[in-house]
Structure 1
Amino acid sequence: MNLLRALATVSGLTLLSRILGLAREILVANLFGAGLLTDAFNVAFRLPNLLRRLFAEGAFSQAFVPILAEYRNQRGEAETRTLISHVTTLLGLAVLIVSLLGMVGAPWIIHLTAGGFSQQPEKFALTVELTRITFPYIFFMSMVALSAGVLNTWSRFSVPAFTPVLLNISFIGMMLLAAPYFAEPVKALAWGAFIGGVLQLLLQIPALAKIGMLPRFSLSFRDPGVRRILLLMGPATLGVSVAQVSLLINTAFASWLPTGSVSWLNYADRLMEFPMGILGAALGTILLPSLSKLRAANDAEGFSATLDWGLRVALLLTAPAAVGMMLLAVPLAATLFQHGAFTATDTLQTRQALITYSMGLLGLILVKILAPAFYSRQDIRTPLKYALISLLITQLLNLLFIFVLDLRHAGLALSISVAATLNAALLFRGLRRRAAYLPAPGWRLFALKLLTALVALGLVLWLTAGADARWLERSSLWRLTNLAWVMGAGMATYFATLFALGFRVKDFRRRVH
């Protein structure tokens, strides 16, 4: 398998999803602005989204994919199919129960996760109702994530990468076609999440059938593979819970800040999802099964070289994204969101969150590359330890940034950035200490050339973007055309500088068998 080609495939489809996701947020900003309605939906959807990451993309994938790769390499097709059936049945029953409990206990959940909403009865009641509609999303997406783990292990990356497109299509369709028919139009967003979950799950069935791994209902706690996955899921669940608990605490903090704080953070987060998904998630998607295969084959040299490749590609593509978002925070927020109910004040508030989020972009993406190196070795306790340290640092910084320095919602974003950078540094050090990763020659020269290209990029963006004030005042068409020009000039400068310094695409090609 050509890793660079796989990355291009996953990144391209992820880009399509992110573009549609951005179109969705532009539509949300235009229809609902940044206030009571969007705060209510963002809180309602955040919890099932977090639990989906906990049950599916997080703890489950970390425990499941390495063992699945081992079964495929060493046990044969029949035993692998049996393992998939047993795991699917157990996971499906677990998340179905969680979904039902969440729907019943929605009022208590909102009291715990967004206590500030209880001061506004209308806002609280709406959030509870939206939560009950969106909670089944956990079940659908957990099954989708299981399918993604199987398909990615078979190097079938296209379907899992395309799947999120259906969610955004569902959101956009519900807002455009169904919102006017609801007494409270924001409910169209909640039903968009529900329908999107169903569509994504249906897409997996033919893909799994094509590789002969469509699971059947078969409950078994005695399967040794299931037991091993459950044992790994214990620390994995704790590790993923740390990150999700941190986000929930941040949401609770934001619920006590001025109205709109949750939404400003959400809009900034939507912009962050472009590099996070296109680069971080895409690299993590292809690296976990690839590293798991190399680990199962006891190929230590290939393991280290593949991780080195991932780190270089991440730095090469993430660093310019971070610089660009910091320097173009107002142009980006104004061009994409400042329409209809979304005001210039909302743009400036979103800018604050985007700048502080961008400071930790490199750390956030490196975590998605370094952590799979531990998971592929079936070592989940070490990332858990580092995640706990990061959680403690995040909350201490929240107290400092909000109550001492009065940074408000920007302080919440900054605390996540600092903690993510620390987490990445700890993971890197842990791999080096275990001799699991030995950096390939040439890193100093690579870093020097990269820094040179970043300085060139920064100068061009600063000179071409101009003052923030004009981006708040000009027309949407002016913003769009000028943002395209500024970004185009910046990208051309960055990649031309890299080319002049000797970087070539062929140097980043790598195959894993």
Structure 2
Amino acid sequence: MLAADQQIRKPGLLRSGALVSVMTLISRILGLVRDIVIAGLFGAGAGADAFFVAFKIPNFLRRLFAEGAFNQAFVPVLSEYRSQRDRQAVRGLIDSVAGTLGLTLSGMTVLAIVAAPVLVWVFAPGFSQLPEKQALTAEMLRVTFPYLLLISLTAFAGSILNSYDRFAIPAFTPVLLNLSLIATALWLTPFMEEPAMALAWGVLIAGCAQLLFQLPFLARIGLMPRPKVRWKDEGVGRIMKLMAPALFGVSVSQINLLLDTVLASFLVSGSVSWLYYSDRLVELPLGVFGIAVATVILPSLSTKHAEKSGEAFAKTLDWAVRMILLIAVPAALALTVLAEPLLFTLFQYGAMTAHDVDMAALSLRAYAVGLLAFMLIKVLAPGFYARQDTRTPVKIGIVAMVANMLFNLLLVFWLDHAGLALATSLSAFLNAGLLWLTLRREGVFVWQPGWGRYLLQLIPAAGVMVALLLWLTPEAAEWAVFGWQQRVFWLGTLVIAGGGLYLVMLLLAGLRLRHMRY
């Protein structure tokens, strides 16, 4: 282990998580601005549906190869190298992974560009009933798919920075995607024969910008990759073995969302977009808090496992679950109560109709049901990956995905697109529950003292918040006739009042910031 590494005082997990949350919040706010712009210009029409599918395909694979399986396999191995080997070995691992990952993804990108119509048929078979829509989606996919290569290399760089406790830069990088899409939607759209094609080019530009942004920070810590293709490198081999099952296990929720898109492509036009807009709102707390906590605990858990500190490992997992409950419970309840106000305020302008809001609100409430489970999966899965166990989450993931398929088939006939969202939520609870039970059975997750008091502080505070929101929130019909200024005022008032009351109730119940530090 490097002496320089030993001299660096690592920030606490709460501080690191807060830093990632703030940076992610900036990105998510811009993401909402991006979606407001897209909703206003394209609504929930054929062009929007085509773009969302063309973006979802590389974005889905990105979550497998970048934040998903690759990150979960690479960070534990890198942490072990840092703990047990010298700097030269660490650099060798980084160079070998950069070259091997880059070559693999380059080959995939070329194949995907050639086979774009086939991919569209696989991921959105319902579009085949509308040849023009299918052709537009394939054309967009040829532009967006290289994003997979660029963003995966960006995530690789971010994993290195996170492992060295440089959390802010990787968390801020997604801002560039949102800025790129906003800029191209506003200024490139008038010059395109098909206006929605501007969004596809925005994705490609963003991929280049995000990768270039992180490279100077890698150079600053002396770990700029010098790509070398070494298939037989020991570290590369271990990462590939860990990735193979993790490709499925860590991304079950993404596969479930993708199945939603496939089935939604057979439903009435607009269904894909309704699911997209509602999913985006659920992604806000999930990204700002759930992924932030998962990001900071994985390097910590990996280090504790390498140091054979089981007690500290269990305490870290327990802390992460408490943090998730603190945010997920009120967030899920607020999304349920404020579904229409949020959608009206953020998206119902221009091409987005009141009917679109009503439909998106149904799927938003269905996704909100599963928010707690989505967030728990993010922090429970690292309990396996930090110990380099990728097989167990795969087995659990298979069960959850099969359940999701069954739930989809049962619910889509009664609830249409909202049934697809509800199926995803139910399968997420099954996934999270099985992960937790397995960690408990293996003695990895151990309840720490104080849970009874913690729940007695949390649950009443969330209940009082819901009561206030139900009392203050105007009817949906009133939101439809409000101007944007009234919408913003009322939504801001509700968010501040609800969030403020929740915090006050927690304080009155005795919960303090020092209790959450770790």
1:63-212 correspondence to structure 2 within 5 Å: 63-212=73-222
Higher mean C-alpha displacement, 234-243 vs 66-75: 234-243
Displacement of 1:76 after TM fit? 1.4
Other-structure match for 1:245 = 255
Other-structure match for 1:39 = 49
Please tell me the residue identity of whatever aligns with 1:210.
R
Please tell me the residue identity of whatever aligns with 1:214.
M
Other-structure match for 2:511 = 503
Structure 1 residue 393 corresponds to structure 2 residue 374: no
- Between the aligned partners of 1:241 and 1:103, the Cα distance in structure 2 is 23
- Between the aligned partners of 1:475 and 1:372, the Cα distance in structure 2 is 45
Q: Gaps (5+ residues) in structure 1? A: none
- Between the aligned partners of 1:241 and 1:346, the Cα distance in structure 2 is 29
What secondary structure sits across from 1:407 in the alignment?
Answer: helix
The answer as to whether partners of 2:180 and 2:206 remain within 8 angstroms in 1 is: yes
Q: Gaps (5+ residues) in structure 2? A: 1-10
Structure 1 residue 427 corresponds to structure 2 residue 435: yes
Q: 1:336 aligns with which of 332, 346, 352?
A: 346
The answer as to whether partners of 2:253 and 2:424 remain within 8 angstroms in 1 is: no
Higher mean C-alpha displacement, 365-374 vs 440-449: 440-449
TM-score by length of 1: 0.98
Structure 1 residue 275 corresponds to structure 2 residue 288: no
The answer as to whether partners of 2:58 and 2:147 remain within 8 angstroms in 1 is: yes
What secondary structure sits across from 2:173 in the alignment?
Answer: helix
- Between the aligned partners of 2:138 and 2:161, the Cα distance in structure 1 is 36
Structure 1 residue 469 corresponds to structure 2 residue 498: no
Displacement of 1:218 after TM fit? 1.3
Other-structure match for 1:446 = 454
Other-structure match for 1:8 = 18
What secondary structure sits across from 1:250 in the alignment?
Answer: helix
Q: 1:358 aligns with which of 351, 358, 368?
A: 368
Other-structure match for 1:311 = 321
Please tell me the residue identity of whatever aligns with 2:180.
S
Higher mean C-alpha displacement, 175-184 vs 22-31: 175-184
Please tell me the residue identity of whatever aligns with 1:489.
A
Please tell me the residue identity of whatever aligns with 1:385.
K
Give me the CA root mean square deviation: 1.0
The answer as to whether partners of 2:469 and 2:494 remain within 8 angstroms in 1 is: yes
Higher mean C-alpha displacement, 490-499 vs 445-454: 445-454
- Between the aligned partners of 1:80 and 1:165, the Cα distance in structure 2 is 29
Displacement of 1:476 after TM fit? 1.3
Other-structure match for 1:414 = 422
The answer as to whether partners of 2:95 and 2:227 remain within 8 angstroms in 1 is: yes
Deviations 1:179-232 (A, max 9, x none): 111111111100000000000000111111111111112121222111111111
Tell me the number of residue pairs that the alignment of Structure 1 and Structure 2 aligns: 508
Other-structure match for 1:230 = 240
The answer as to whether partners of 2:248 and 2:397 remain within 8 angstroms in 1 is: no
- Between the aligned partners of 1:73 and 1:245, the Cα distance in structure 2 is 34
- Between the aligned partners of 1:115 and 1:473, the Cα distance in structure 2 is 38
Higher mean C-alpha displacement, 229-238 vs 255-264: 229-238
The answer as to whether partners of 2:465 and 2:499 remain within 8 angstroms in 1 is: yes
Displacement of 1:42 after TM fit? 0.4
- Between the aligned partners of 2:517 and 2:434, the Cα distance in structure 1 is 28
- Between the aligned partners of 2:47 and 2:228, the Cα distance in structure 1 is 43
Structure 1 residue 297 corresponds to structure 2 residue 317: no
The answer as to whether partners of 2:250 and 2:381 remain within 8 angstroms in 1 is: no
Displacement of 1:244 after TM fit? 4.0
Please tell me the residue identity of whatever aligns with 2:271.
S
Please tell me the residue identity of whatever aligns with 1:333.
L
Other-structure match for 2:71 = 61
**Identical-residue share of aligned pairs (%):** 48
- Between the aligned partners of 2:124 and 2:460, the Cα distance in structure 1 is 45
Higher mean C-alpha displacement, 146-155 vs 232-241: 232-241
- Between the aligned partners of 1:296 and 1:354, the Cα distance in structure 2 is 41
- Between the aligned partners of 1:273 and 1:239, the Cα distance in structure 2 is 20
Deviations 1:235-263 (A, max 9, x none): 11232464443333221100000000000
- Between the aligned partners of 1:115 and 1:223, the Cα distance in structure 2 is 40
Deviations 1:251-282 (A, max 9, x none): 11000000000000000011111101001110
The answer as to whether partners of 2:253 and 2:374 remain within 8 angstroms in 1 is: no
- Between the aligned partners of 1:31 and 1:407, the Cα distance in structure 2 is 28
Please tell me the residue identity of whatever aligns with 2:470.
W
What secondary structure sits across from 1:192 in the alignment?
Answer: helix
- Between the aligned partners of 2:147 and 2:106, the Cα distance in structure 1 is 10
Displacement of 1:312 after TM fit? 0.6
- Between the aligned partners of 1:237 and 1:348, the Cα distance in structure 2 is 36
The answer as to whether partners of 2:341 and 2:479 remain within 8 angstroms in 1 is: yes
- Between the aligned partners of 2:464 and 2:268, the Cα distance in structure 1 is 39
TM-score by length of 2: 0.97
| Cα separation, partners in 2 of 1:256 and 1:135, compared to 1, 3 Å | same
